[in-house]
Structure formats: C-alpha cells, structure tokens
Amino acid sequence: MTTRITPRMIDLTYEALLKSFWRKNALSKFLRASHVSENFISSWAQDESKRNLLDRMFQGLQASDRGKSLIFQMARSLSEQTTFPDLRNWEDSQHKIQEATKSVNDLKKYLKQQDTKAESEKEKKESREKTRKEREAVQRAQTDISKLQSEMDAMHSKVGTQAGGYEFEEWFYKLLDFSEIQNRKPYKTNGRQIDGSLTIEGTTYLVELKFTKGQSGAPDIDSLKAKVNKMADNTMGIMVSISGYSSVAISDASGSKTTLLVLDASHLYLFLSGAMSFIEIITRIRRHASQTGEAYLATSQFGGR
C-alpha cells in the first residue's frame, strides 16, 4: 500500500460503501468481490441493518493488517465508481445518487491527497538516502586521500633511495586507482622499461616517475621522448618528478607540438589537499600545453594562464 490507513480514510470508505449500495444482494456482491470472508457475509441476519453489518465489519477489519488491506482495496474500488446501478429505480433515486456521488468524490479527493503525500514522503526519503550515501562517499574519499597523504609524507625520508622509488611507484598507482583513472602498471616493451601508463579522454600517457633528490634534467626528458616517439599516434608522456626540473629540462620538454606533460610534488599535493581531482590537474596542464606549447604549468599559475 502506498497510502496509509487512517481514521479519516476508514470513515470516508464506510460512508461511500453505505451510500453506494442499497440492496442487500448488491452490497454482498461487492463485499465478496473485495475478498471479505464468506463466513462474515453469511452472518448477516435477515433483521440486521446494513449500517449494523458495516459497523461489525469495519471494527473487525481494523484489528489486522489483512483487514486494513481490505479496507484500502475497497476504498480504491469505491473511488473508481462513476455510476450507481443499485440506486436506480427508486422513488428518490436522484437524491440517493447525489449522496453517493458526493461520498465517492470525497473519498477520491482524500485518496489523491494521501497519494501525493506518500509520493512526497517517498521522494524525501530517497533524497535523504541519496544525501547519506553521498556524505559517506565523501567521508570515504577524505579518509582515502588522508591515507594517501600520510603515505606520501612517510616517504620523504626515502627520497633518492631505490626502496623509496619502488614505494613511490606503488603509491602513484594507488592514486590513479583512487581517481578511477584507467592505468597499466610498469611493463617492458622492446627491451625498454616503461613505468606504466594512464589514459584520460582517449589519450594514453606513458608514465615516467622520478623519486630522486636532485631535479630531473634534460637526459630524463630525452629518454621519455624517445619512448613516446616509438608509440602510436595520440600517445603522450607524463613525467612526475618529486624534486622538480631544471630549467633546461622544462625547455626541452616544451615546444611546438610537445608530446610531454611534466608534474612535480606541488601537483600531487594540490590533489591531496582536495582542491582538484587528479584528472582535472592533468587536463589543466594539457590544455595549457595545447595553448602555449609549454609542458609545465606551476600550480600557482593554474588560475591565471
């Protein structure tokens, strides 16, 4: 049931039932069609009035869920009436039909109001549930980002070490998985070691990760360029250097139709702060490279260039 059984509904259903049927046979037929038990209908004594029968019936039906369901079904059936065959051919048929019509219309109006209220409550409940799930998702995301940041902070003492490099590599792919960025972990092709790849909006980027104490230089850029140039069209490269780049490296990475984007620790921390998603960060740098040919865009210039 979408509409709750209320005292008002019971009263309106009672009145509509009382006014819609005048003959005992007609009322009994309706009650049978509404699945009122045959034992109860058979208990209708010859000298018992219609009103007394309905008093007994409604009192009994309210005592169980099944009975309340029957009341609801009768209310729906009564509200759908447009003619009243049992009220024809009486001396006061017009008056009887007018009263029955009014009772049915009152019931129909109430049911419509209750349906609207039930629908509104359902929508409110669904909205609350959606908000709850979104809030939980945000909380989970914040927890996961906080964990990523803690892991990143813990790696600082290992910068420049082989163990630190492996940890950084593993951490970076955790970041990509969290960001739901399609990626492939490190692999070899034609004898060349590739630190992995990621794909955003149809473009695949070869990944080069640098976890060294010193800045990445021109040879690092040349190495990534060589790997990218051996790949299919629409392949680019992304270098993430924890200690940044020399000016020569940035210059070499940039230029007409550059195929590289270069990021440093500031871009990672921009993501960890929650200010931008990692996809947004890469997309911002890619757009800058397309507009200027510059492979690097400092986070401090994200809003102004």
* Domain presence at residue 145: no
**Judgement on whether residues 278 and 173 belong to the same structural domain of the protein:** yes
Domain end among 69, 101, 121? 121
- Per the structure, how many domains does the chain have? 2
**Judgement on whether residues 95 and 179 belong to the same structural domain of the protein:** no
**Judgement on whether residues 160 and 222 belong to the same structural domain of the protein:** yes
User: For the domain that residue 190 is a member of, what is the CATH number?
Assistant: 3.40.1350.10
Give the DSSP H/E element, type plus range, for residue 235. strand 235-241
Buried b (16+ CB within 10 A) or exposed e, 230-239: ebeeebbbbb
* Domain presence at residue 142: no
**Judgement on whether residues 12 and 85 belong to the same structural domain of the protein:** yes
**Judgement on whether residues 193 and 295 belong to the same structural domain of the protein:** yes
Phi and psi of 4, rounded to 5°? -75, 140
How is residue 215 annotated by DSSP? P
Task: Report residue 247 as tokens.
Answer: 């000016």
* Domain presence at residue 126: no
* Domain presence at residue 127: no
Give the DSSP H/E element, type plus range, for residue 240. strand 235-241
**Separation of alpha carbons 284 and 130, rounded Å:** 31
**Judgement on whether residues 89 and 202 belong to the same structural domain of the protein:** no
Give the SS3 label for residue 193.
strand
Per-residue confidence (pLDDT) for residue 139, from 0 to 100: 56
**Judgement on whether residues 285 and 163 belong to the same structural domain of the protein:** yes
Domain end among 121, 143, 175? 121
**Judgement on whether residues 168 and 297 belong to the same structural domain of the protein:** yes
Domain assignment of residue 33, given as a range? 7-121
Tens-digit pLDDT string for the chain (305 aa): 445 788 999 999 999 999 999 999 999 999 999 999 999 999 999 899 999 999 999 999 999 989 999 999 999 999 999 999 999 989 999 999 999 999 999 999 999 988 888 777 777 777 777 766 766 665 555 558 888 999 999 999 999 999 999 999 999 999 998 898 999 998 877 777 788 999 999 999 999 999 999 999 999 999 999 999 988 888 999 999 999 999 999 999 999 889 999 999 999 999 999 899 999 999 999 999 999 999 999 999 998 65
**Judgement on whether residues 169 and 297 belong to the same structural domain of the protein:** yes
